[in-house]
Amino acid sequence: MSPATKLAVNLGLAAAVLVTATVLLTYRPNETPPPEASRTDRLEQLKSLPYTAVTDYEAGTVEAGVLVSKPDKVYRGYNIFCSRILPEVYLMDMDGAIVHTWSRPGDDIWVWDHAVMQPNGDVIVINKFKDLLRLAWDSEVVWQREMDVHHDVAILPDGSFYAILRGAELHRGLAVRFPSIVHFTPDGEEIDRWYTYEHLAEIMETFDRRSFLDTILDSMLAAGSEIEFTETVPGKIEANTLKDGRVLYDYFHLNTVTILPETPLGERDPRFREGNLLICFRNVNQIAILDRDTREILWVWGEGMLQWPHHPTMVDSGNILVFDNGVLRGASRVVEVDPVTGSVEWEYAADPPETFYTFEKGSAQRLPNGNTLICDGDNGRAFEITQEGEIVWEWLNPVLRKGRRVQVYRIERLPLGVKSTH
């Protein structure tokens, strides 16, 4: 039995057994939604909580589970996600039923941020800032590695994978975080790494430097100001005060690594060839492509267009889809850009725009039928839209903590019986 067939059988059996055990909360039109905080109030709340895990409003009796479903327009599959404060990975069907769970009872909470499933049903899980682990379909630990891992994992066809790790250096007299992209064997052993601090000169020559930490510091010094950032100021700097009183600055905040697929564009232009790495530096508002062999920076885009973005991926045409958080606008959007011309070819934003806003999370996945699955992470929400912007599927995380909805960092739609691609 092939891995894909085995996975399809496993999913079918799990669905048959577990679907009856899942109870979904239903929509009641006469319920009053939570009061909308002003954008300023919400921003102040989130600035003081750089890594929140629940929404900033009381969930109360608001509806949850699948709120909208138009079966003739959706792309059917399974949805994989983590509910951030629980040491569990969920596989959910289109009706909102949990058909399978990978779990580690007794593991730390507030840490299971993201998981990627392999063809045989194993998952690689990011236990944020603590370790990376691989779980079999039955949740048995295949391997577990302690490391300062965060945000993303990208699996190669040979089973090896990339992950993002944190590092820190003394830079201009300040304690500053610098991330790495690390290549691992299928067993979780390190092969090599690309450390941003060691390539700082190349990055400075290649990227637009308007939002760089150094540019901000130079401007402050030129104006006679002292360096006194002690908390995150969106669009300017990210600073976190540690328990011992030290301030740790986050320079690039690398939050995505994905692998470029085979596309007609990649066949014409080697910058976009299959296997190159697409990455996202949130704090400098830019996404970039690294050569898969040399790690040379081949392409950069985003400054002046994106505001603290997440999750760029390349779609079949060779265009790049990216979640633009819009932290200065107070409204998020998803854009599809032609990487050769830099022009935005497609965009989704809500009407009114501020009704779709996620400050620190978010993802967008182009589905095979042309629809786009969007994760409104701060609000624990996911929705699927057509190219025209019609919402054809919408889901709210029913998991609550002390009356507040638990956030979801990313959600991915898996085709029935087919492996994950991101």
Interatomic CA distance for residues 171 and 257, integer angstroms: 24
Residue 260: per-residue pLDDT: 98
Interatomic CA distance for residues 371 and 77, integer angstroms: 13
Partnered with residue 135 across adjacent β-strands are 123, 141
DSSP 237: B
Interatomic CA distance for residues 276 and 295, integer angstroms: 9
Residue 13: per-residue pLDDT: 44
Long-range pairs for 173-178: beta carbons < 8 A, 24 or more residues apart: 174/227, 174/247, 174/249, 175/246, 175/247, 175/248, 175/249, 176/213, 176/248, 176/249, 176/250, 176/251, 177/248, 177/249, 177/250, 177/251, 177/253, 178/251, 178/252
Omega before 261 within 30 of 0, i.e. cis: no
Residue 34 domain-assigned? no
Residue 384 domain-assigned? no
Residue 60: per-residue pLDDT: 61
Residue 420 domain-assigned? no
Residue 229: per-residue pLDDT: 79
Residue 42 domain-assigned? no
Under DSSP, is residue 333 helix (H, G, I), strand (E, B) or coil? strand
Residue 24: per-residue pLDDT: 30
pLDDT in tens, the chain (422 residues): 444 444 444 444 444 333 333 323 222 233 333 333 343 443 343 333 344 688 776 676 568 999 999 999 999 999 999 987 889 999 999 999 999 999 988 766 557 889 999 989 999 999 988 999 999 999 999 999 999 999 999 999 999 999 999 999 999 989 999 999 999 999 999 999 999 999 999 999 999 999 999 999 999 889 888 777 777 887 788 988 888 888 999 999 999 999 999 999 999 999 999 999 999 999 999 999 999 999 999 999 999 999 999 999 999 999 999 999 999 999 999 999 999 999 999 999 999 999 999 999 999 999 999 999 999 999 999 999 999 999 999 999 999 888 889 999 999 999 986 444 44
Q: Which runs of consecutive H residues, i.e. helices, occur in 71-212?
A: 200-206
Residue 17: per-residue pLDDT: 35
Structure tokens at 166: 């944190």
Residue 275 domain-assigned? yes
Residue 300 domain-assigned? yes
Interatomic CA distance for residues 194 and 243, integer angstroms: 29
Interatomic CA distance for residues 201 and 222, integer angstroms: 22
Number of structural domains, the chain? 1
Q: Domain containing 259: what range? A: 3-23+79-366
Residue 397 domain-assigned? no
For strand 190-195 and strand 174-184, is the pairing parallel, antiparallel, or unpaired? antiparallel
Which pTM was predicted?
Answer: 0.86
Under DSSP, is residue 323 helix (H, G, I), strand (E, B) or coil? strand
Q: Report the CATH number at residue 297.
A: 2.120.10
* Range 114-129 burial, b when 16+ CB lie within 10 A, else e: bbbbbbebbbbbbbbe
Nearest to 235 by CA among 309, 138, 140: 309
Structure tokens at 292: 């898969």
Angle at 54 between CA 52 and CA 60, to 5 degrees: 155
Q: Are 392 and 74 in contact (CB under 8 A)?
A: yes
Structure tokens at 298: 């081949």
Residue 85 domain-assigned? yes
Under DSSP, is residue 116 helix (H, G, I), strand (E, B) or coil? strand
Interatomic CA distance for residues 356 and 363, integer angstroms: 13
